[in-house]
Structure 1
């Protein structure tokens, strides 16, 4: 049988008597925590039978009749009232036979609590005048332990002003009194920090601490103090009212009202001094109250008292001596006697512009004055007599750089500090015509598209003249120059007021390509000045000329008819289409294409040289008549073109076709219309060329020299290469002319082409039929420059 004994006081199981548990599961419990489940006082916990509805915490197996402590015992908790003894009363019931035992257990104290103060910080305010030996109470420490385990003594941190005295109360408790052992001085140390430690008598001892903050309260034990007993001050005469003379700064080591200072004059300070100087009672500033004059009073003496505002005030005094220093109190004066403005900008050097006099009412160095003007001005001062100066021109003047000058005359005396005065006058410069008009550029290049509208604005050639008024007004002219008996004024016009350049006619690039002339800008000054600028007009080509087909030649609207042998070999030259375009190189580049062709497999056309060649030999199936329509396009935008229709007829003949590098015997009609025109043109040009050469020789008295080329002309299209002709043949500036005659050869003549290096001249000869090839080299050749 085992019974858990429940305390009648605490209503919980504190002790257990042990026997086998009624429940096997209980045997696993080893160290159960103290039972916390509350049961009614006196409840018996039986292990036999069914446990009661409120089962307590079962105790581990214990020997029968042995009493064990189930949980930690805290005497201060069980015996809340601090008494010398502490008992726990309980009952033990034993069954079979049933008996009741009354048990009292005494709980003895151990030192398990440290002393502690109710407040961690103790604040004390002590007046610095407190006498030594004064006692101050502080809070005592408490310790819930009893006897020797409670507070035994107190300790105070080391200091020179305080100590403690330990007192014992009627209940045996210990407390400490704080005792002032040395007088306090707030001005030296205003706050003292102490540490009070309570120590109990247990083994080992336990302690608790509290901080004691002692604030020392001020008393008026310090009088105000000046930095010096005597002050010497110098002040300039005529110092303005309110000027600071001296700021007294007396200090008081006390605080609050004990340190607030008031400044006053003593009875030994004269009324005149008090009327001349003002003393601020709060700040101690001495300022000028009346005008000072060195000639009237040179020295002032005063006595100042500084008093604090304590109930029992303390004071201190000092002496102040003020010396008035003489000063340069008269400003020098400037008087401009004469002044000339405006003046011309080309005024000669050393011209007098103004006369100035200076003066100063002071004497000595204070009355000696110096006059000067700012640096870097084109003027200088020249002393003419005592205190008289002349302003003269020292450097050339230029109104365009500086239109006017503000000349400031400054006069300064030699006092200490020096005084000065100044006077400013404005000198205006009159303009003279000393600047030529200036164009923005020295050379103007203007591009004009041909076929321009007459009167179109080409450019604005504006010049600038920095002068003023009539010296700035510009008039523009075109300097006359004739080109091919035509005056420039007939071609161009310029607005005389603004320099706008206009074209008076429509230009044709194929006739005139450029113009070079001069424009003059002239001002309206007296005498006028002018400058000119070169103008280069470049006519820009337009694609305004369509190609003209010159080979094969035919009357307008007619069809060219050609006959070729039916036995012509593959690759033979059938015809050559040549078109010319008088536009510029870019616009005159011509390409050739078939518009129509009877049999596209029979003929090919070179798009660059216009040569029509056979792509194969003729067969019996091919028609005798072939119709070819060729279009020649230039390279302009938009492109222009011309067409030619060629009818080819094949004939059965034994005539042998030669390649373009061999002799080609063809019939040629000497008096065909085209050749007739060409012969006439050739004769005329040759005659004019001969006359020109003869005139040139006569004029220059030089030996006759064969002329290979005519002098170049600016407004003409010059042939890029020469050609050589023989008999009645015509050669152009292009190798196409050879093919022209090859295609146009008729009966009676044989045209021979001699191949020469690429880029060289072509030699084209015309010989009677039947002449051998070797005769070509013996043909008389002449050179013609084509224009």
Structure 2
């Protein structure tokens, strides 16, 4: 009962130890399994997905795969249940040879995100190989004269297994002459030796046949045997002997040919020819050893004959026989164990796999870029490899397992600063001198839309002359985007707004690709001096980014407006001429009249000058005009010789290029001094009351509009009464065609009473009874009109009505024209008064619509 309790306690301790070991492996993300060799297909190895902390549902989407260098088909994973199983036959001896430790290294790789796990599957040895002798029969020639305890080395058996499965024991079939001795060589196993226990007698037993059996330590155990055929020789009693039975030699790999390995020196107690010896390789020496080393049969020197590579074989076992020339010859034996020392003759090997390229510039820190594995065929310090990364970059190497590294992102990327990194991975071993190898990887940084288009400056000033042709190119905006491809593809558009009563897009447009700004219509400085708007630049990224730039388009003035004369209200004269009364008694320098003009342009184009045209016949006029004010004054005292009516022609000219002009006619009537006060008072009243008239022009305008409206209503009522009181004759009120009043080709009204006469047909000027200018009526759309005969009474009443209506219309048009003109002049004077300059030499002032002289 106590024994059972102790067994249970041991089992619990073992289970706890296994659980702790499993937890430690799971935490380190390195899983270790074991599987016996020769396991059948489908043998369970381990729940790899569960042990690595992966969900079964994500194995296929994340591209779960197992990679093993050179052993890809031995083990497989069932993606449905995450179990690692044996896929094909595993032969430990073929996989690892005589190595005590044998394992299969698996790399488990999953994507999205990229992860790598390392799994070690230890292949357990089973006793599946029996001990094997190289030959089925070993022959030994032993002189009968050999002394007791003479030793005869035998070729031992070999077992492909390892550990206890390869621990061999030997036994010799029962006999009376020989016993078996086993020699334990250092790290080389056991070697059987025959020991002579009883003197041989050739005459009794010329040959002996024994059986040597080798048994391994496996369960179940396997055995192998070899027949020992012993030939008993006569004569030569002393065999050559070496001073040692086993020689140990150490030498470096890559030794040059003919390098001395060992110089053997055997001795023979015999004399004469029985003492002469010949050295040779034993029949047990394999061919590869014979190719690598060369034996001098006379001197016993063993030299290097071929390249010695530690990576191919680190030990050599050479069996040497020395045979004398006696009859029968006697043979001595020794074994030379050559240990090859490693030199640092292999550079590291660097392999870069699983590149996750290109890398987005907004990738988070810690993103795995690539997997790097290094290896070195050397051993010890010569095979210990360290990796470094150059040059300095936002990346670093992270060691994930022995000789395995991950290239990860260490700091933030900026494609606009560096778009591509060429990284050099250097692997250096620990030898002296050390050897190194390099591998380069090009890491391309993919662009993300993190830069908005930028203009060179936030605001541009553009100068455009007015009256430009429609569609002319006035400026080109250009924005630069530091991104690439679609993220740097910039398109331009107007930031729409209202300019007065019109939309901005009716003035300008911008080409979406080139950024060229076009004026869609001729610009007028008098209408628009400054056009300020914004152009938006937007890239094609997702989401798109954009920025705006302000354009200030100044419309430069052209001299496209001639000076316009302003008549003084209340001044006499016909045809637009200025009429004034001048007393003959005025002295020199007296201002008798003033010419007023306005120019809609600005600056020098609106700076007006006045000059008096010479009178007809070359007569010298007693008047002059001020150059910049337009004031007409006397140059001398008037006398009786001066004509009573003076006609002055004043030329008004601006300062544009080319200059534009206008002509004003001033009629001056010279009166006697008795009439001078009236004339002077009218002049003075006109000059003094100009400002008052301008101030009250709005009131006058309102009163005039009301009066004219009343007059219009009265006229309509009178016309209706006349129409109704006319006799209802067939020509006047019948169903005949009406008489037309329409516009002629020159914009006048035309009234015709001709019978069957084409009116407004365009074939010739129509005959008219009354014509009055009226640009507001459209041309008559009817090409042919025939007028019926009318009675004399109806015709007269209709004529009176028509004449009355046309006369009233003409009066309304005339009044409205004058009052509108006065209103516009008053508005212009109010604006110009704010910008009037005090000097007489510069009268130009800049305004939005016009320039008015004081």
TMscore range, shorter length: 0.3 to 0.5
Question: What TM-score comes out, normalization by structure 1 length?
Answer: 0.44
Q: Which has the higher helix share?
A: 2
Q: Which has the larger radius of gyration?
A: 1
Q: TM-score, normalised by structure 2?
A: 0.41
